[in-house]
Amino acid sequence: GQNIDQPTEMTATEGAIVQINCTYQTSGFNGLFWYQQHAGEAPTFLSYNVLDGLEEKGRFSSFLSRSKGYSYLLLKELQMKDSASYLCAVMDSNYQLIWGAGTKLIIKP
Amino acid sequence: IAGITQAPTSQILAAGRRMTLRCTQDMRHNAMYWYRQDLGLGLRLIHYSNTAGTTGKGEVPDGYSVSRANTDDFPLTLASAVPSQTSVYFCASSTSGSNEQFFGPGTRLTVL
């Protein structure tokens, strides 16, 4: 079966760095997406990786290793507004997104 | 309008009733999707449409139907609602099947 695993919840301090991991087993691979979802709101797109390596976008970076079925989202200089759930999703061979349950990130002052 | 809109925002529905959730986008995206989101679970795809006039089944299609008469609209119908269909429903769209998806604000549906 297809499976996306990510931690349920993480806590970090304002100004610090946090890494959210995602491991996956899917039928085919056509890219990995990270989305941010604030409580009660819709998911919004953060990043997309299809090749191995690191993609940097401001305070957020995303890494992919296809051979290991592994990705992480790195958030630097954490701000209180970064408190949200972070969703990992893999596009399978049918170009359908398979979603993880999300990681709730709590930022403490 | 700009982006994707969904209606209603929330709804309480008696079991056995018919309900249509509306979704409209003005970005001229070819692909549209319906997901449900339940606590502790990832988003699950109900139905999708790669282009106007075509639809396909996702992971959890039973009890739901969709139509795509034009590019902008993608309504989701529950023919006879059951309590297990209590969920938050998100509509999304993308320029094509392989690109990032943009989400509507969601509809919170409670079936009693």
Chain A environment of B42 (Cβ under 8 Å): 4, 87, 89, 98-102
User: A22-51: per-residue pLDDT in tens?
Assistant: 999 998 999 999 999 999 999 999 999 999
Chain B environment of A103 (Cβ under 8 Å): none
User: A21 and chain B: CB distance < 8 Å anywhere?
Assistant: no
Which tokens sit at A101? 């349950």
User: A7 and chain B: CB distance < 8 Å anywhere?
Assistant: no
**Burial readout A21-33 (b: 16 or more C-beta within 10 A, e: otherwise):** ebbbebeeebbbb
Do the beta carbons of residue A10 and residue A20 sit within 8 Å? yes
Do the beta carbons of residue A37 and residue A44 sit within 8 Å? yes
pLDDT at B1: 55
pLDDT at B15: 98
User: Rounded to whole angstroms, how far apart are CA atoms B4 and A32?
Assistant: 23
Chain A environment of B43 (Cβ under 8 Å): 43, 87, 89, 97, 99
Q: Do B100 and A100 touch (CB under 8 A)?
A: no
Which of B40, B43, B98 shows the shortest C-beta gap to A99? B43
Confidence of residue B99 (pLDDT cuts 50, 70, 90): confident
Residue tagged 């090749």 (tokens)? A51
- Compare A27 and B25 and report the one with higher pLDDT: B25
Q: Do B101 and A41 touch (CB under 8 A)?
A: no
User: Rounded to whole angstroms, how far apart are CA atoms B29 and B38?
Assistant: 26
Q: How far from the centroid of its chain's Cα atoms is residue B16's Cα?
A: 19
Q: CA geometry: angle at B83 spanning B87 and B66, to 5°?
A: 60
Assign A81 to helix, strand or coil: helix
User: A46 and chain B: CB distance < 8 Å anywhere?
Assistant: no
User: A47-65: per-residue pLDDT in tens?
Assistant: 999 999 999 999 999 999 9
Which tokens sit at B105? 């604000």
Residue tagged 């797109």 (tokens)? A45
What percentage of chain B reaches a pLDDT higher than 90? 91
